[in-house]
Amino acid sequence: MQLVEDENYPNPNYIVFTGEGKTELNVMKGLAHVYNGRDIILHFPLSTLSRRTGLTALKSIKTTSKYYNSMIYIVDGDVFDNIPINEIQDYLKGIGIKINDVKLIREAFLINCEKGDKVINLYCIISGQTFIEEEIACLIKLKWGIDIDITGIRDIPWKKRIKREVNQVLKEKNIRIESLIKETGKKKLEIAFPNFCAVLKKIEEDYSKN
Partner 1 sequence: MFVRSINIQGFRGINNCKEIIKLSNFTVIIGRNNSGKSAILEALSLLPHPELSDIISRTKKIRYLRELHHDGILKKLLYLYAGTARLEYIINYNNADRRIKIEFDQDNIECNFEGSGNAGIKYAQSRLNMNQKYLEQSVVFIPDTTNILVALEARMNYYKELIMKEGHHIYLAEFLNKFVNDEYSELVFLTPISLRKILKDNKVYLPINDLGSGAEKVIKVMALLKVISPKLVIIDDFESGFHPSLMNLFLEWLKNEKWQTIISTHSIDVLNRLVDINPEQAKIIKLNKSKDDVLSHESLTLEELEDILNANIDPRKLGDALGL
- Return the number of the residue (18 or 89) whose C-beta is nearest partner 1: 18
Rounded least distance, CB 121 to partner 1, Å = 17
Q: CA dist 181 to 20, 55, 135, 173, Å?
A: 19, 27, 12, 13
The Cα 76–Cα 172 span in angstroms is 26
User: What's the closest the beta carbon of residue 45 comes to partner 1, in angstroms?
Assistant: 4
CA-based R_g, the chain, Å = 17
Select from 177, 210, 179, 193 the least CA-distant residue to 74: 193
Looking only at residues 1 through 30 of this chain, which bind partner 1 when binding is defined by CB under 8 A?
4-12, 15, 17-21
Q: At what angle do helices 22-34 and 132-144 cross, to 10 degrees?
A: 50
Query: Cβ closer to partner 1: 53 or 142?
Result: 53
User: Considering beta carbons, is residue 65 or 184 the nearer one to partner 1?
Assistant: 65
Q: Does 60 bind partner 1 (CB under 8 A)?
A: yes
The answer for residues whose C-beta is within 8 angstroms of residue 49's C-beta and 6 or more apart is none
Q: Return d(Cα 3, Cα 32) in angstroms, integer.
A: 6
Residue 164 in contact with partner 1, rule: CB under 8 A: no
Interaction between residue 92 and partner 1 (CB under 8 A): no
Piece in contact with partner 1 (CB under 8 A), picked from 38-46, 145-153, 160-168, 189-197: 38-46
Contact positions vs partner 1 (CB under 8 A): 4-12, 15, 17-21, 43, 45-51, 53, 56-60, 62-64, 66-68
